[in-house]
Amino acid sequence: MKLLRYGAPGAEKPGLLDKDGRVRDLSQIVLDIAGAVLEPEGLAALRALDPDSLPVVAGIPQVDLRLGPCVGGIGKFVCIGLNYADHAEEAGMAIPQEPIIFNKWTSAVVGPNDAISVPRGSVKTDWEVELGVVIGKPGAYIEETDALDHVAGFCVINDVSERDFQLNRAGTWDKGKGCDTFGPTGPWLVTPDEIEDVNQLDMWLDVDGERMQSGSTSTLIFKVPHLIAYCSQFMSLQPGDVISTGTPPGVGMGQTPERYLHGGEVVTLGIAGLGQQRSQVLPAG
């Protein structure tokens, strides 16, 4: 299934994408794509529905029908740093011996085609295409062999980052990661049964039509099961929590000379099987 949320910001309704690319309304079935709906029993109930029995929502998704973040009520937005060896190299940092964890504040989360706003005082706003893992089954101290049982689905994330805030403002990565609009998420949550191999997904990102990032989840240092098990040693994972798994090389910080977003650019990105995003970049207000 491809689950989504559509409508005006803050008033999104739940839906799913049918085989013809139309949005089907789920608002008479569930309140949101969130919480218990993402647990195995909730997903099984949605999977048992006949999409043809659900109302068609007018409009073409991501054209004249706005999509919101594909997960509602995100509790924790956990990010993994330097999880591609070639990205660590371009950043001039050592390959980590265990996963680096930081947070993206949930107030950063926006829809896949919503604008990205450069924050006030920014000089190094950057882009990062990433695979997002959405938790369904809750748990703590999860065994790696059981980790995929806890996954509700996967999605595209742009881990927008302000490098000066991240690296030069007293050493706390979080303050460069959680600015408003820095978490475009979606377009849809794709359940694991639709993904043949999550470790073989091509990913890409363009700025104004120029290819900047081109990679694959096959080169992740720490794979999805390990990340779930690892994170669960430090926090319980709840339905709707998101783990963003890191970015391949090609970020602005890694360019020669460095290249950043200042406003006016269009950032497009996608992951095979998970959809695409397109965001206009707005200058600092």
Question: Per CATH, the architecture of 72-282 is what?
Answer: Alpha-Beta Complex (3.90)
Prior bond to 138 cis, omega within 30? no
pLDDT at 49: 98
Identify the CA nearest to 111 among candidates 154, 77, 65. Answer: 65
pLDDT at 230: 98
List of the chain residues with pLDDT < 70: none
Report d(CA 248, CA 127) in Å as an integer. 11
User: Is the Cβ–Cβ distance between 5 and 14 less than 8 Å?
Assistant: yes
Identify the CA nearest to 249 among candidates 279, 220, 281, 278. Answer: 220
pLDDT at 94: 83
pTM metric for this prediction: 0.96
Identify the CA nearest to 281 among candidates 208, 213, 203. Answer: 208
